Amino acid sequence: MTTWRGVRLREALRLYVITDRALARGRPDIEIAREAIAGGATALQLRWKAGPLSEALQVGHALRALCREAGVLFVVNDRVDLALALEADGVHVGVSDLPVPETRKLVGESMVVGFSPETLEQALAAEAAGADYLGVGPVYPTTTKPDAGPAVGLEHLAQIAGAVGIPVVGIGGITAVNAAAVIRAGAVGVAVISAVVGAEDVREAARQLREVVDAALAER
Ligand code: TZP
Ligand code: MG
């Protein structure tokens, strides 16, 4: 397996779509993922918050195969064990999950490790401990993650993106309308749930977001 760590990662973080059963409104994760990728998603994260892990494994295997076929980065949220079992390309941990040093120790050197810092200090420590990218947010208000806390804003994102050497993606309340500002603040891409997974036309929603992100990156 070729690794995504390093230069390839920045490109892969342009449009990072995260699964969500509730927002999919009965549409299977694999269908949402297929449409999102057809629209231009460059990374896909399996975010499993409820239901048996055996089912997460089943869904994950299908998503893993789809992403491998499409050349899309496949990341598992929170669970290092699930990421390893699925041979995911990456694992994403937050402040309540296994810390970055332990995560890196368990997954080895080829798997991408993402981290969601709440402060600049946490961001710098995660980079030093071997995180490959950071997810910073919620940039804008969101109802998708009830415990996400208040919006941190573009300045907080810009401060972290300017201080670390690893790529940063913005997350939280991002749409095609406000995504360009996130890129201008220093992010290499945007991570979204509702703007794509909750859309009536998932493919078109992804296409529009990707267009905005690509245009904003080209202007930097
Ligand atoms: N982490 C911070 S905000 C958020 C997560 C998982 C939710 C993002 O969802 P949406 O619908 O794109 O605001
Ligand atoms: Mg988490």
pLDDT, tens digit, for every residue of 155-207?
999 999 999 999 999 999 999 999 999 999 999 999 999 999 999 999 999 99
Which residue from 77, 122, 83, 85 is spatially nearest to 101, judged by alpha carbons? Answer: 122
Task: Consult the annotation and say whether 110 binds a ligand.
Answer: no
Distances (CA, A) of 17 to 34, 69, 121, 182: 11, 17, 27, 16
Q: How far is it, in rounded angstroms, from Cα 100 to Cα 122?
A: 10
Q: Is the CB of 194 under 6 A from ligand 1?
A: yes
- Residue 22: which pLDDT band, with cuts at 50, 70 and 90? very high
Catalytic positions, please? 47, 116, 145
Question: Is there an atom of ligand 1 within 6 Å of 142 CB?
Answer: yes
Q: What is the pLDDT of residue 7?
A: 81
Question: How confident is the model over 80-101, as pLDDT tens digits?
Answer: 999 999 999 999 999 999 999 9
* pLDDT, the chain, mean: 97
For the full predicted model, state whether its pTM sits above 0.95: yes
pLDDT at 1 over 60: no
